[in-house]
A = this chain, B = another copy of it.
Amino acid sequence: MALPVAVDGMGGDRAPDAIVAGARDALNAGHDVVLVGDPDRMGDTGNVPVMAALEVIEMHEDPGRAVRLKKDSSLIRAAEAVRDGHASAMVSAGNTGAAMGAALFRFGRIKGVARPAIATVIPVPGSTPTVLADSGANAECSAAWLVQFAQMGAVFSRVRLGVERPRVGLLSIGEEPGKGNSLAKEAFALLHDGAAGPGVDFIGNVEGRDVMSDAADVVVTDGFTGNVVLKTLEGSMKFAMGAVVNALRSPGVDKSASDAILATLLPLAAELDPETYGGAVLLGVDGVCVISHGSSSARAIVNAIGVADRAVADGLVSQLAAAVAPAG
Contacts and interface: CB of A to CB of B under 8 A. Distances in A.
Interface of A: 60, 62, 125, 136, 139-140, 171-173, 176, 178-182, 184, 207-213, 222-225, 227-240, 243-244, 246-248, 250, 252-254, 256-258, 260-261, 263-265, 268
A234 B252 contact: no
Given A139-B181, A180-B224, A253-B264, 6 more contacts: A139-B184, A225-B228, A232-B233, A247-B264, A254-B257, A257-B260
A233 B236 contact: yes
B257 A239 contact: no
Contacts of A60: 176
B261 A257 contact: yes
Nearest to A222: B181
A140 B268 CA distance: 38
Contacts of A222: 181
A246 B268 CA distance: 11
A268 B247 contact: yes
Given A176-B60, A235-B212, A238-B209, A261 B265 contact: no
B139 A173 contact: yes
Given A231-B208, A234-B208, A247-B268, A224 B260 contact: no
A295 to B, nearest CB: 12
B136 A173 contact: yes
Given A233-B236, A235-B213, A260 B252 contact: yes
Given A173-B228, A176-B60, A231-B208, A243 B257 contact: no
Contacts of A243: 125, 265, 268
A328 to B, nearest CB: 34
B252 A265 contact: no
A228 B232 CA distance: 10
Contacts of A236: 212, 232-233, 236-237, 240
A228 B212 CA distance: 13
A91 to B, nearest CB: 22
B228 A247 contact: no
A260 B264 contact: no
Given A125-B243, A253-B257, A211 B225 contact: no
Contacts of A231: 173, 207-209
